[in-house]
Amino acid sequence: MTTTSLTDSQRVVVTGLGATTPLGGDVPSTWQALLAGKSGVAVLTQDWVESLPVHIAASAAVDPSETLERVEVKRNDRSGQFALVASREAWADAGSPDIDGDRLGVVIATGIGGVLTTLANYDLLREKGARRVHPLAVPMLMPNSAAAHVGLDLGARAGVHTPVSACASGAEAVSYAVDMIRGGRADIVVAGGTEAAIHPLNMAAFAQMQALSTRNDEPERASRPYDKGRDGFVLGEGAGVLVLETLEHARARGATVYAEIAGAGITSDAHHIAAPDPVGRGATRAMQFALKAAGLAPEQIAHINAHATSTPTGDVAEAKAIAGVLGDAVGTPCVSATKSMTGHLLGAAGAIETIFTVLALRERTAPPSVNLDDPDDEVRLDVVRGEPRRLPDGPLAALNNSFGFGGHNVALAVRSVDQ
Amino acid sequence: MAASEQEILEGLAEIVNEETGIPTSDVQPDKSFTDDLDIDSLSMMTIVVNAEEKFGVRIPDDDVKGLSTVGDAVSYIQKASS
């Protein structure tokens, strides 16, 4: 199964992981909490919550001010702070590679960008006047701010990019990084996604779309993908970042290789600005393209980290698309819906779920989905419920799906790599 | 009562430290914001905006350009607040 037409100079592998999430301030703590089935969702304590229909969210487990310098906190939007924390962990995990900055790239995606900075400065403008607007507001609120700050931090001069495709952004960043490396633009790319959008305006706006769960009395049970009682997603925040390079480059410097990003499929629905295509045509094509790019057959997929946000329509559309792509092999992969624990990190979701997919293959353990008490009759998938599931011995492959408002579909194929 | 030069210097040093991380002890009257403290124009604006709030003064953008040293800023603020 690990045979591929690509050479080691074309195969792009993961050599470093970093994250800060509602489950933990780094990758090890997040992964352990995920395997333990812990929820990162809680009732918000901010006083503005009472005026909203939704009182719950998945806030970061560790505030970035606990690890960053005070000036770094002041000069970065919260989304940039998360990105710095995660990228530094990923870079250290990759062994802090000795690389010419001209050959180092950064791709940090976001769904909304520096929206907390935008809104805080609008408050300042209205309450105190134009003179009180922060002189660094623009470089903090611009969507590429997090990527640019990470690029500055690492000295990356091969290009700094910010894909924006709503909740598919983080996965699109990983795909973009693969293209940068295969295209010869960079030897190493630091790629991922970040989001910090827990604010009454954003929550009111998502709530007006009927997109958020209102299970305010049971926050830990609010995110329940595939369950009949699901009533929307839970907003989360944080960042996930991966270090990517070719297998040849990784081996030449003696790096630890987690897994290979074997293929990516990106499509668009052209169906509706926010609603998913009811039969998931765009999602289907994305998965098919990812499998083809990776040279994988459906029966070779042992695990899927689904997009599965816990919305009534989205979960079923994706489940149908997965079933259609896998055909007779629909029962083979075990499916994890990790947003049941992390909540939905929007532009960071695709990145942290790529990390989860990579770790699932590396550790041969699929994380559980929680709160799936009464499965939706339309979902014909083998969902990992309650406890983690051991994956088979031998070479492994997996899919990670990410979809976003606007009709964005990204599927990534991940494959184990022999050490 | 208007603040003394020493009080203004200490208050300014706190702002510079808060906005840039430069130690307060480095913020001395003879230091140039750009040449000695390596403060760029955007950082200078954040210092000015915070100083305006702290000392209750207004420092027009054209006047900011004339404040090359910490001592220049201290004198300007004292004059403006007296």
SS3 helix, strand, coil % of chain A, rounded to 5? 40, 20, 40
Number of Cα atoms under 13 Å in the Cβ half of residue B76: 21
- Closest C-alpha to A288, from A320, A324, A262, A251: A324
The reply to whether residue B42 touches residue A69, judged by beta carbons under 8 angstroms, is no
- Which residues of chain A register pLDDT less than 70? 1-4
Does residue A69 belong to the interface with chain B, where contact is any CB pair within 8 Å? Answer: yes
Q: Which of A249, A303, A307, A408 is catalytic?
A: A307
Q: Which residue of chain A is at minimal alpha-carbon distance from B61?
A: A131
- Closest C-alpha to A239, from A173, A176, A195: A195
Q: At what angle do helices A281-294 and A312-326 cross, to 10 degrees?
A: 40
The reply to whether residue A139 touches residue B42, judged by beta carbons under 8 angstroms, is yes
Beta bridge partners of A114: none
Catalytic residue status for A134: no
CB A406 within 8 A of CB A165: yes
Start-to-end Cα distance in chain B: 8
Beta bridge partners of A13: A245, A260
Does residue B37 belong to the interface with chain A, where contact is any CB pair within 8 Å? Answer: no
Instruction: State which fold the A12-252 domain adopts.
Output: Peroxisomal Thiolase; Chain A, domain 1 (3.40.47)
- C-alpha B58 chain-centroid distance: 12
Partner residue facing A136 (CB), from B18, B42, B58 = B42
The reply to whether residue A70 touches residue B52, judged by beta carbons under 8 angstroms, is no
pLDDT of residue A6: 87
Catalytic residue status for A334: no
The reply to whether residue A71 touches residue B21, judged by beta carbons under 8 angstroms, is yes
Structure token digits, residue A371: 């709160």
Tokens 């960079």, residue?
A186
A269: which DSSP letter?
A: -
Superfamily of B5-81 according to CATH: ACP-like (1.10.1200.10)
Cα(A338)–Cα(A86) distance, rounded to whole angstroms? 19
CB A108 within 8 A of CB A241: yes
Partner residue facing B45 (CB), from A69, A70, A135 = A135
- Closest C-alpha to A24, from A81, A78, A63, A62: A62
A182: left (phi over 0), alpha (psi -120 to 50) or beta: alpha
Does residue B63 belong to the interface with chain A, where contact is any CB pair within 8 Å? Answer: no
Catalytic residue status for A167: yes
Does residue B14 belong to the interface with chain A, where contact is any CB pair within 8 Å? Answer: no
Beta bridge partners of A14: A244, A259
Over residues A197-220, the pLDDT tens digits come to 999 999 999 999 999 999 999 999
The reply to whether residue B42 touches residue A71, judged by beta carbons under 8 angstroms, is no
Residues 6 or more apart whose CB falls under 8 angstroms from that of A140 comprise A75, A76, A77, A80, A114, A117, A134
* Ordered alpha helix ranges (H), A129-271: 137-141, 145-154, 169-182, 200-208, 247-252
CB A229 within 8 A of CB A145: no
Partner residue facing B21 (CB), from A69, A136, A139 = A69
The reply to whether residue A134 touches residue B18, judged by beta carbons under 8 angstroms, is no
The reply to whether residue B20 touches residue A71, judged by beta carbons under 8 angstroms, is yes
The reply to whether residue B18 touches residue A74, judged by beta carbons under 8 angstroms, is yes
Chain A residues closer than 8 Å to B55 by CB: none
- Helices and strands in chain B, H and E counts: 4, 0
**Measured between alpha carbons, how far is residue A251 from residues A12, A97, A181, A247 in Å?**
12, 12, 15, 6
Give me the interface pTM, i.e. the ipTM. 0.90
The CATH number for A263-415, chosen from 3.30.342.10, 3.40.47.10, 1.10.287.610, 3.40.30.10, is: 3.40.47.10
Q: Which residue of chain A is at minimal alpha-carbon distance from B19?
A: A71
Domain ranges of chain A: 12-252, 263-415
- Closest C-alpha to A338, from A164, A165, A170: A170
- Closest C-alpha to A41, from A292, A248, A344: A344
CB A248 within 8 A of CB A9: yes
Chain A residues closer than 8 Å to B53 by CB: 132
Start-to-end Cα distance in chain A: 15
Q: Which residue of chain A is at minimal alpha-carbon distance from B45?
A: A135
CB A225 within 8 A of CB A216: no
The reply to whether residue B46 touches residue A134, judged by beta carbons under 8 angstroms, is yes
A416: left (phi over 0), alpha (psi -120 to 50) or beta: beta
Does residue A73 belong to the interface with chain B, where contact is any CB pair within 8 Å? Answer: no
For an interface test with B, give the residue of A68, A117, A134 to mutate (most B CBs within 10 A). Answer: A134
Structure token digits, residue A345: 């990190």
Number of Cα atoms under 13 Å in the Cβ half of residue A309: 27
Over residues B10-56, the pLDDT tens digits come to 999 999 999 999 999 999 999 999 999 999 999 999 999 999 999 99
Q: Which residue of chain A is at minimal alpha-carbon distance from B60?
A: A131
Distance from CA of A134 to the nearest CA of B (A): 7
CB B38 within 8 A of CB A93: no
Q: Which of A55, A167, A199, A303 is catalytic?
A: A167
The reply to whether residue B42 touches residue A132, judged by beta carbons under 8 angstroms, is no
SS3 of residue A354 by DSSP: helix
